Chains A and B, each alone.
Chain A
Amino acid sequence: MTDTGYISKWKFMEELRRYRKGSVSRRHFLGVTGLGAATAVLGTAMPALRPRAALASSDIGDRVVLATWPNYHDTANFDMFTDATGAFVQVNVFGSNEEMLAKLQAGGSGWDVFVPTNYTITTYVSEDLIEPLDVSKLPNYDADAFDPRFSDAGTVDGTLYAVPKNWGTTGFAVNTSHDGGTSLTSWKDFFDRTKDDFSGRTMVHDYQLTTIGNALKYFGYSFNSVEESELADAERLLIEVKPHLFAISSDYQPAMRSGDAWLTMCWTGDGKQLNADMPEIAFVLGREGGEVWSDYYAIPKGAPHRDAAYALINYMLDPQVNAREVVAHGYPVADANTNALLPEAILNDPILYPAQDLLDALEFGAAATLTDPNRAELLARFKSA
């Protein structure tokens, strides 16, 4: 991530080459709409960009299909996996957990591995969409090395369904060269300043969980509230703020980089990536609290290449591989074995590892928060207001 300017010819070709390898750069096209469907459109519209079938040399098959999030992998790791196993990693990037769930509920996703967030796993289990994991096929999974806060959501009723990938927080990124010397430290600042000196420059996620959750924090309510009166307060705030928003989108990096947007709700790794390239962009956790989350690797029911799925997850859990991932995307891991390999600079980075008091104020999202129909309707009213 070194593009401080805007997309040049060279950059475009570079992205195209990465795309051709099936790596993350699809986010440029996908993240913005948040539509998994777009993957299919692109795949069919541009046959030349479709991944070439690797010459299968091992018995796990020639490919493995991974459904994951934008900016979330070191593509070199995928290349090495392909070199080692002959299985090509086909990456589908998604915009929200709801979208992943919708795709799996509809059936026929064709995925082998997906990356659910902590609060979705019980829903996948109750909907019978997720495969229990056979630990014997994951020799690299050292359960004791993981901080249980970030790994226990993978086990439901004593059965292991998912193993931890990364964890992180949801805060906001602010371009400090526009804050007039008064820094923003809370969700109250985030929304109040949006109505004031950040008017027309703020972005919020196109995701009910975080956008509503952070609006709830403005009033000091729980991030997970489904209380009617509290949601009504959050809705009032969001609708009041809407005329001052630059956009409602989870693809905020381009606008922050170009300087069109100055303030945005932001996940850890995006904050790290923005800050690394543009030090004037700070990543802030709201003083009132907000969200802490943990993502997992899991295998959906009916995965077409199950052996390859186990091979990929096991490979990604190799501390050497995992450490390279962290360096590339800037999301922390809860695995002590991986952390032992990481440079001090990363382990002491306040964006990845926030101060304990800030961390203590954060809440994990709840399953009910994601599936609550009232919150979904609230977001629709906010977007169409």
Chain B
Amino acid sequence: MTRRERNWLLVTPAAAWFVVMLVLPLSVIFVFSFGERGPAGGYVPAFTFEQYANLPARFTAFKNTMILAPLGTIAAMLIAYPLAYQLAVRTDPKWKIILLVLVIVPFWTSILIRSYAWIFILGGSGLPALLEMVGIEGVRLIYTPFAVLIGIVYGYLPLMVFPIYVSLDRLDKRLLEASADLGARPFSTFLQVTLPLSIPGVATGCMLVFILLMGEFLIPALLGGGKVFFVGNALVDLFLQSRNWAFGSAVAFTLIVIMLVTVTVYMRLIARLHSGRQDISIM
């Protein structure tokens, strides 16, 4: 077996997986998006741009997603960073593993059940009742965009904590000592050394969370009370309720294109930012 053949053999499983699990379904969606809805729902083959012309009918869903997905990503990052920092830099190594496991533990239960628990926490007899005891009345939490934001941050926090933790954990501690030796205060060491070096972790975490949030439907459905409508919810309704597969495919395909563009631009920006920093550190 030549080296070339061996290489082919090695990539075959991955290639097969991509074709079956990614290329084929995406092709189906692409083809369906030019079709029409059957009289009782489903899909009728056709070649029309009608579905794409109809996209403005889901403008609000796209708008909500484009607002809450970045907002949720940033909120998760702001909460995850201090946590990851504490774990990676400040925690005694013998505790690290236990604390890390605690971060993963929620993943052992389905997100569906965990989100459902938030309905009780945010519902009238949960947090608002507690707030009432300390004199803050009339707080409505459940079934608001804020509840959805809480659910999102809660659900995806571990995905943000891990990449940041890894980048901070791998950080060469001698750099911090060097910075201190050169007279930098801890805060400026953080700003000039730690933070720039952890950017790859932050960037990875943000991308993971952002991509998942763009397709999110469960948390808005559960904690938004059907009033906070994401593209994901529009898709669920189009496929499961109105059975308009053609239009649903057009919406799905548009979402994929938006995500591809956003993620590409984002990665370019991060790459530029990161290489810029490295230039500075070399100087």
Contacts and interface: CB of A to CB of B under 8 A. Distances in A.
12 contacts: A6-B120, A102-B241, A102-B243, A105-B41, A126-B40, A208-B242, A249-B226, A383-B226, A383-B227, A383-B237, A384-B234, A385-B60
B124 interface: yes
**What bracket does the count of chain A residues touching chain B fall in?**
35 or more
A258 B229 contact: no
Interface of B: 37, 39-42, 57-58, 60-61, 64, 110, 112-113, 116, 119-120, 123-125, 140, 142-143, 218, 221-222, 225-227, 229, 233-234, 236-244
A84 interface: no
Chain A at the B interface: mostly helix, strand, loop or mixed?
Answer: helix
A380 B237 contact: yes
Contact of B40 (A127, A248, A255, A379): A127
B40 A46 contact: no
A137 interface: no
Given A32-B222, A98-B240, A380-B234, 4 more contacts: A35-B236, A41-B110, A254-B119, A260-B123
B124 A260 contact: yes
A259 B124 contact: yes
Contacts of B40: 101, 105, 123, 126-127, 371
B233 A371 contact: no
A259 B125 contact: yes
B239 A29 contact: no
Interface in A103-117: 103, 105
Given A33-B221, A254-B119, A371 B112 contact: no
B234 A29 contact: no
A7 B116 CA distance: 12
Contacts of B113: 29
Contacts of B60: 384-385
Interface of A: 6-7, 28-29, 32-38, 41-42, 45-46, 96, 98-99, 101-103, 105, 123, 126-127, 200, 206, 208, 242, 245-249, 254-255, 258-260, 371, 373, 376-377, 379-381, 383-385
A45 B112 CA distance: 10
Contact of B120 (A7, A127, A383): A7
Contacts of B233: 383
Given A33-B218, A127-B40, A385-B60, A376 B241 contact: yes
Contacts of A247: 143, 225-227
Contact of B242 (A37, A45, A376): A376
Contact of A206 (B58, B112, B226): B226
A380 B58 contact: yes
Contacts of A255: 123
Contacts of B37: 373
A26 to B, nearest CB: 11
Contacts of A29: 112-113, 116
Given A33-B222, A247-B143, A258-B123, A242 B240 contact: no
Contact of B41 (A36, A42, A206, A371): A371
Given A6-B125, A42-B110, A384-B234, A35 B240 contact: yes
Contact of B116 (A28, A208, A246, A249): A28
Contact of B57 (A242, A254, A381): A381
Nearest to A385: B60
Those 8 A-B pairs whose CB atoms lie nearest each other, nearest first = A247-B225, A376-B242, A248-B226, A384-B60, A384-B229, A260-B124, A45-B110, A98-B241
A28 B110 CA distance: 14
